[in-house]
C-alpha cells in the first residue's frame, strides 16, 4: 500500500480453499523470519467490523440483497482499514489478511448479477487501497465445498449457495488474477498444506 512501511498481503479464494490455515502459517513463517505481522481477516478484523460480520455470515442466504451486501462488506472493510490495517502498516508491521476487497469484487461483483461497476465505485470512494500482494488459493470447488461444510461453524450462509456458486467464484478469482496480474499470484491449493505453505512463503520472500 502506498505510503505504508509494512507489506500488505491478502489471501483470497473460494470457501474452504484453506485461506485461514495458510494465513496463519504465513504469519508464523514471517515471525520466524524476524518480522512482526498482524494476522487479520474479513469480514471483521476490528471490533466494529466483527459486529458487522455477524450480520453478514449468519442467517438466511437471501437475508440481504447483493447491493446491501456490498455496502455492509465495505463498511466493515473501512472500519478494518482505519482501526487495524493502516495503524499496523504505519508502524512498520506487515499485515496478512484472510480476504480483502477482491472478495467483494468476486462474491458480490460478478457472481450475482453484474454489480462489478457498483463495487468499484464504492471501493474507490470508501477504501481506495489495494494489497501489495494477493495470493489467490485456487482449488476444485467440489473439494472445497466439502471442506467448508464439514467445518459447520454456523457461519455457512455463503457456502449454502452451493457448488454452482463456488464454481463461478473460482472463475471470478482466476479472471481477477489476470486483471490485476501485478499484485496477484495464483497458488495451487489442492496440494498438501505443507506444500501450499512452502509455495506461499517462497512468493512472499521475493516481495520482502
Nearest distance from residue 91's CB to ligand TYD, in Å? Answer: 24
Q: Which is nearer to ligand TYD, 108 or 134 (CB)?
A: 108
Nearer to ligand TYD, 57 or 171 (CB): 57
Complex with ligand TYD: residue 42 or 94, whichever CB lies closer: 42
Please say whether the beta carbons of 140 and 147 come within 8 A. no
Residue nearest to ligand TYD (CB): 158
Report the interface residues with ligand TYD, using CB under 6 A.
15, 20, 41-43, 57, 73, 98-99, 103-104, 107-108, 155, 158
Fill in the DSSP letter of residue 67.
H
CB of 19 to ligand TYD, least distance (A): 6
Residues 208 and 87: their CA atoms lie apart, in Å, by: 19
CA atoms of 175 and 179, how far apart (whole Å): 6
Q: Which is nearer to ligand TYD, 104 or 134 (CB)?
A: 104
Output the smallest distance, CB 96 to ligand TYD, in A: 13
**Residues 6+ positions from 51 with CB-CB distance below 8 Å:** none
Q: How far apart are CA 32 and CA 168, in angstroms?
A: 37
Q: Which helix (H) or strand (E) holds 96?
A: strand 95-98
Amino acid at each position: 500500500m502506498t505510503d505504508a512501511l509494512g507489506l500488505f498481503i491478502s489471501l483470497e479464494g473460494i470457501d474452504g480453499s484453506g485461506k485461514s490455515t495458510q494465513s496463519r502459517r504465513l504469519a508464523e513463517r514471517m515471525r520466524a523470519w524476524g518480522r512482526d505481522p498482524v494476522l487479520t481477516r474479513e469480514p471483521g478484523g476490528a471490533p466494529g467490523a466483527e459486529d458487522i460480520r455477524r450480520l453478514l455470515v449468519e442467517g438466511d442466504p437471501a437475508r440481504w440483497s447483493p447491493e446491501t451486501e456490498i455496502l455492509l462488506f465495505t463498511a466493515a472493510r473501512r472500519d478494518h482499514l482505519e482501526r487495524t490495517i493502516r495503524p499496523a502498516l504505519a508502524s512498520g508491521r506487515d499485515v496478512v489478511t484472510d480476504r480483502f476487497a477482491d472478495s467483494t469484487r468476486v462474491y458480490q461483483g460478478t457472481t450475482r448479477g453484474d454489480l462489478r461497476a457498483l463495487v468499484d465505485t464504492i471501493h474507490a470512494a470508501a477504501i481506495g487501497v489495494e494489497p501489495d500482494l494477493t495470493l489467490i488459493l485456487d482449488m476444485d470447488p467440489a473439494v472445497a465445498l466439502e471442506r467448508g461444510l464439514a467445518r459447520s461453524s454456523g457461519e455457512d450462509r455463503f457456502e449454502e449457495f452451493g457448488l454452482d456458486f463456488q464454481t463461478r467464484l473460482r472463475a471470478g478469482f482466476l479472471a481477477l488474477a489476470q486483471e490485476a496480474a501485478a499484485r496477484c499470484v495464483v497458488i495451487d491449493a489442492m496440494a498438501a498444506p505443507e506444500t501450499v505453505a512452502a509455495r506461499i512463503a517462497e512468493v512472499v520472500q521475493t516481495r520482502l
